[in-house]
Amino acid sequence: MQNKKNLSRLLTFLSAMIFFILPVRAQVTIGDKVAPHSFSIVEIETTYQKGGLRLPQLTAAKCDSLKNEFLKPAASQEYKDAAEGLVVYNVDAGCVEFWRGTDWESACDNSGSGDYTAYLLPDCDVPAQPGAITGSGEVNPNISYTYTYSVPEVPGASYSWALPVGWTGSSTGNSITATITGLAQSGTVSVTAKNDCGSSKASTLDVTVSNRVPLTVLHNNYEL
């Protein structure tokens, strides 16, 4: 009987040792009872309740206190590195802030230290579709190797041009000069206007390559 008790105690001890020795790797979903994605450590998922993530609510004074804690000379570099990316809600500023290693950065505006505007979505609209493309709809390398196409200017936009196979030319402005050769193919000239918010719909012009040789008539050694 005593041997059974000793064996039971030994097994319990070994189980506890295995639990503490082996590395523990856990993934957690908070909310719905669904498995987290493989790339997540923690996920918040719910389809049954209305709500969101409530960040730690800190006053400006508490943010400053944390700042002094992170920057004090006695703090180890490992400690400082671990603090980067900390996110809080500053109740006095009314804004989410995150620690970038030297100061708090605001996600609201650039009223404090640092350049916050880099973290904001641009306040703009996608440009309007450029107007009709003007330029020759029929080109002939036997007559000319260069042809110019243009659209009315769209305010605040740059442009992206596309040319048919065998054509060359590049431009970010509202006009482009294209060069063609005898290998150029018929196709479509297209252009979009773009800015930091995106690109417009394309304006297009169908073009045909003609290889007709111009007829030259000589009369008394004069070209007609």
- pLDDT value of position 18: 44
Q: Percent of the chain, pLDDT > 90?
A: 30
52: confidence class by pLDDT, cuts 50, 70, 90: confident
Q: How many CA atoms lie within 13 A of 204 on its CB side?
A: 7
User: What are the structural domains, with CATH classification, of the chain?
Assistant: 2-45 (no CATH), 57-119 (no CATH), 140-209 (2.60.40)
- pLDDT value of position 30: 72
Question: What tokens does 146 get?
Answer: 């260069």
* Average of per-residue pLDDT across 95-113: 76
Whether the pLDDT of residue 167 is over 70: the answer is: yes
Average pLDDT of the chain to the nearest whole number = 78
- pLDDT value of position 216: 55
Q: Please check whether residue 97 is in contact with residue 104, taking contact to mean a CB–CB distance below 8 angstroms.
A: yes
Q: Percent of the chain, pLDDT > 70?
A: 72
Q: Which positions ≥6 away from 95 have C-beta within 8 Å? A: 89, 106, 107, 108, 109
Whether the pLDDT of residue 199 is over 60: the answer is: yes
Closest CA to 191 of 170, 208, 212: 170
